[in-house]
Structure 1
Amino acid sequence: MNPQAPVRAADDAWLTAVYYRFHAWSGGRPFWAGLFTLIGGIPIAYFPYADLRLGNVTIAMATTAGAGSLIIGVLLITLGLALWFQQGIRVFAGVASILLALVSLPVSNLGGFFLGFLFALVGGALALSWAPGKANGAQGDAAADKAEAYGGGPLGVPGPRDTETDTAYATETTAHADGGRNSAG
């Protein structure tokens, strides 16, 4: 191998590209809220149907509310996925996952032995507290930046004029917003 040949890091290039794509994808959505909500639904749906075998002895946690546990778990998993792909429903999904976590306490073996309950509760709280951030240079942001610089209102209607700084047409008798008069004529 030639020592003057350029170093090619093709082995790690795909991993770096995947990392940056995932980081860009998860940065614009309530990723952790969806993950906690999704993880919270798994033990709530699993424990009522699980059985533990110790030799010839089978220990089953089956309850009469197995169908309710399955419904709550599947709904929490669905809400977790919806938080990833539909950010607009984050308030609804947050409130719904908190309510489902609370309902899972009496219905589903103490909310999946408090494990699913805590994960769903934290996921719902994260969904309610998440707010979309400002995009930084992605495609389509040119129009948003142009609209922000314009300062117009909705549907292209111009916004209110700042009379403090817009004194180009003020005369000596023009009153300003603060009640004073323009002394520069």
Structure 2
Amino acid sequence: MSAEIPASREVPQENRFKIWRQTRPFWAGLLTIFGGVPIAYLPYGDMRLGNVTLAMQTTAGAGALIIGVLLITLGLTMWFQPVVRVFAGVATIVLALVSIPVSNFGGLVIGFLLSLVGGGMSAAWAPAPPVEETTDAEHDEQHEAGAETEVTTAAGVPEQRVPEHHATETTIDANGGRNSAG
């Protein structure tokens, strides 16, 4: 801890990844990367069963490799450049759709589905609103200025009263027509 950085601003080591992950479309990028791998690999991969080699190589192997590498790149872009998340999401969806005819039904449908969901998540993701930090003195002043007072009704039931500057039409309507501020 240094004298220049207040203790409340220091982030514990175990929370750094969590904070990093929450400030960007992490899961969208991960699904996009996982979707790009089978799309790029399957046209070039083979499986050996004893002396028999099963290969799914096609003439469009170069196109599948390009689509797979672009999907992996878009997944990394979602992580490291979250500002372009909408563009990356739309481009991911388009590439996932193009992979159906080009890359063995989109990497045997697995890569297609993972990329499609990842692109949709990226396009829909929005950053959380920033949290305003207040000092304890500011919080106490705000709390005292807007403090609610407790009034006992004729039935002996405590009733919360809100200061007059907080009363709105919604407050009046929510209290059954009563003005809780005055």
| Alignment CA distance shift 1:62-1:80 (3 Å) | same
Amino acid at match of 1:21: R
Matched to 1:75, the amino acid is L
How far residue 18 of structure 1 moved from its aligned partner, in angstroms, is: 4.8
Distance 1:109 1:19 in 2: 41
Work out the CA distance in 2 between the residues paired with 1:136 and 1:48: 48
CA distance in 2, matches of 1:18, 1:116: 34
Residue of structure 2 in register with 1:47 after alignment = 42
Q: Report deviation, 1:21.
A: 1.1
User: What TM-score, normalized to structure 2?
Assistant: 0.65
Q: Match of 2:58? A: 63
Counterpart of 2:68 (choices 42, 51, 73) is: 73
- Once the two structures are TM-superposed, the CA of residue 26 in structure 1 deviates from its matched residue by 0.4
| Structure 2 unaligned blocks of 5 or more | 1-11, 135-164, 166-182
1:86 to 77, 81, 89: 81
Measured after TM superposition, the shift of residue 74 of structure 1 is 0.2
% identity of equivalent residues:
63
Report the CA distance between 1:132 and its aligned residue: 1.1
Q: Aligned equivalents of 2:13 and 2:109: distance in 1?
A: 35
Aligned twin of 1:32:
27
What is the aligned length? 125
Partner residue of 1:13? Answer: none
CA separation in 2, counterparts of 1:112 and 1:90?
24
Secondary structure of 2:42's counterpart equals helix
- Equivalent position to 2:15, from 16, 20, 37: 20
Structure 1 gaps, min length 5:
1-16, 142-164, 166-185
Corresponding position of 2:96: 101
**Taking structure 1 as the reference length, what is the TM-score of the superposition?**
0.64
CA RMSD between the two structures: 1.9
Hey, what does 1:173 align to over in structure 2? none
Residue matched to 2:169: none
The structure with the greater share of residues assigned to strand is 2
